[in-house]
Chains A and B, each alone.
Chain A
Amino acid sequence: MKRERQLKGRRGRWLRHILTAHGLVSYIFLYFPIVVLVVFSFNASRYASAWRGFTLEWYVSLLQDAAIGAALKNSLIVAGGSTVISTVFGTMVALAMERYDFSGKLAFDSLLYLPIIIPDIVMAVMLLIFFVLAHAQLGLVTIIISHVAFNISFVAVVVRARLAYFDLSLEEAAQDLYANEWQTFARVTLPLIMPGILGGALLAFTLSIDDFVITFFTSGPGSSTLPLRIYSMVKLGVTPEINALSSFMLIVSMLLVLLSFVLRKGGEGEIEIV
């Protein structure tokens, strides 16, 4: 069936131009602040907002800042740890949810979706109360636990999207050829859903390294991550180092997101919308 998407006639042409112009303006709106931030990070002026020439000074001073080094290390530990745990658990639960029916599945499914839709300030408060009442020492461990609590859900959603297109006859074929269950999983199932798993892992890593609110509530002394460091720098007053650090983080996470989408797309089908 031919789907006619064009607006016809002279007035249609006007509408089309307005629509295009609106689309263009919307995309400029989305990228304008990012461009401003990156441009300012190369601005030689320390105090005035005016342009005083190009410099890499702020990036160099980032490299020499010990507190930022420590924050980067914490960020990598938290993101790395929570990604590994949530990717393993999330993939397992995705397999269970796509392959099996069991009583209480709907309730469990809802529980699995809740961390995605709950406002992050509420989740942050919940976890803070839990850790305080459990007399847990707030620090990297509590941050990782909290990040896993929301990342399992994101990984599960991404892997399930991949599993939904899985051709079960491929597994049957492997078993016809005398592969045992473990061999079938390791040689057939796992490689086929690997793009989904990697995409989910990258998403988890990105969400974890970018998270501010939940980390803010569940961190203790000495466990500042990069977003926490940026936040306290902003609160103390805007300095050009923040622009450099923010631009750097923004570019890195944009690359990660791009990679995550390429992996999840896996060469076929449309972009998955989580």
Chain B
Amino acid sequence: MKPRSRRDTWRLLVLIAPSLFWLLIFFLVPLVMVLVISFGQRGTYGGIVWDFTLSNYARFFDPLYLRIFGRTAGIALATTVICLVGGYPMAYFIATRPPRWRNTLLLLLMIPFWTNFLIRTYAWLLILRDQGLVNMVWTGAVHNLFLHLATAYPAATLFSSLAGLTSVPLELFGTNGAIIVGLVYAWLPDMVLPCYAAIERLDFSLVEAAQDLYANRVKSFLRVVLPLTMPGLVAGSVLVFIPALGAYVTPDLLGGAKSIMIGNVIYSQFMSARDYPFGSAISFVLMAIMLIATLIYFRLGSD
């Protein structure tokens, strides 16, 4: 309702003033500062020279950064696709359970999601690193198995070569793959929840109607279920793609020198290179991409 009296107007002002103040000073002003600084230049000793130059944005086209941006986009895209392929059936599974099960399953999905991100990423370090769990099994149990088989069947060279293969640890840690596993793990619930919401709302009698009209299972899925749940699918993809694009902790802990992402570049511009203007320019572009993706999300969400 509209504020009806002067007292109402006062009440409204008092209610929003603290948050408005906080968000203006500690969110909007810093946001504008980032934009302004991104047109400045780095001083000789790391300070900011106030200026108007597009050189920070021009630096994006340096092959070094183009490669990093390309890799980041690739990793974010791969993460989104894997979350989609894994998350959609998972959402379908949850939505087709009896109602009392559904809430429990959703809760089980949400609990890890709201716990410490750094720690969950660190857990993957324990699994993927050279002396980690996977390689413990690989160079231990699997290696021993092939050694036994090779001695039991000396004629089969396959076993001895497999034994040789398993004697060295798999190179998992520090690869793009390790980052993707960490990101999928972190953001899978962001895909499952909107898909679940869409599938849960789906009127399954429409599927029956399609099948009554002799549509087979594949056809009724492609022509009925998929189009009707598309908004959830798009929403989930946006919700996964944005944080994957801005990832910092995951590539920092699970990636190596060869798998640097945009987040790591921003970090190093602020913490080691002390090039605030360039760091600001990258941050601003990242934010612009995020805003565009969010607008798409709300457009589709309002349909």
Contact = CB atoms under 8 A, between A and B. Distances in A.
Contacts of A173: none
Contacts of A12: 217
A4 B203 CA distance: 8
A3 B12 CA distance: 44
A130 B107 contact: no
A126 B283 contact: yes
Interface string B89-118: 110111110000001011111111011111
B131 interface: yes
B155 interface: no
Interface string A16-52: 0001101100110111011011001000000011100
Given A37-B123, A101-B1, A238-B125, A30 B118 contact: no
B162 interface: no
A102 interface: yes
A92 B112 contact: no
B111 to A, nearest CB: 5
B86 to A, nearest CB: 6
B123 A118 contact: no
- The dominant DSSP class at the A interface is helix
Contact of A36 (B127, B246, B253, B263): B127
B116 A111 contact: no
- The dominant DSSP class at the B interface is helix
Interface in B1-20: 1-3, 8, 12, 14-16, 18-20
Contact of A119 (B27, B122, B197, B243): B243
Interface residues of B, number: 87
B76 to A, nearest CB: 11
Contact of A126 (B31, B90, B96): B31
Interface string A140-168: 00000110110010001000000000000
A22 B116 contact: no
A149 B263 CA distance: 21
Contacts of B118: 210, 212, 227, 230-231
A258 interface: yes
Q: Which of B105, B132, B287 has the most CB of A within 10 A?
A: B287
A246 interface: yes
Interface string B109-141: 111101111111011111101011100100010
Contacts of A156: 19
A152 B246 contact: no
A131 to B, nearest CB: 9
A107 to B, nearest CB: 11
B242 A119 contact: yes
B217 A11 contact: yes
Interface in B171-198: 185, 188, 193, 197
Contacts of A171: none
B22 interface: yes
A89 B18 contact: yes
Q: How many A residues touch the partner, as a band? A: 35 or more
Nearest to B114: A257
A119 B193 contact: no
Given A22-B93, A102-B12, A119-B290, A112 B19 contact: yes
B26 A130 contact: yes
Contact of B294 (A20, A117, A145, A212): A117
A121 B246 contact: yes
Nearest to A111: B23
A19 B30 contact: no
Q: Please list the 5 inter-chain residue pairs (A to B) with the smallest Cβ-Cβ separation, ordered nearest first.
A: A119-B246, A33-B123, A23-B93, A126-B30, A96-B15
Given A4-B205, A126-B27, A210-B115, 18 more contacts: A3-B205, A5-B95, A7-B217, A12-B217, A22-B90, A26-B188, A49-B133, A92-B18, A102-B3, A121-B246, A122-B34, A123-B27, A146-B26, A210-B116, A234-B125, A238-B125, A249-B116, A253-B114
Interface of A: 1-7, 11-12, 15, 19-20, 22-23, 26-27, 29-31, 33-34, 36-37, 40, 48-50, 88-90, 92-93, 95-97, 99-102, 108, 111-112, 114-115, 117-123, 125-130, 133, 145-146, 148-149, 152, 156, 203, 206-207, 210, 212-213, 217, 227, 230-231, 234, 238, 242-243, 246, 249-250, 253-254, 257-258, 260-261, 270-271, 273
18 contacts: A4-B205, A23-B105, A26-B86, A30-B112, A93-B15, A119-B242, A125-B283, A127-B26, A145-B26, A148-B26, A213-B249, A238-B125, A238-B126, A238-B129, A246-B123, A253-B116, A257-B110, A258-B111
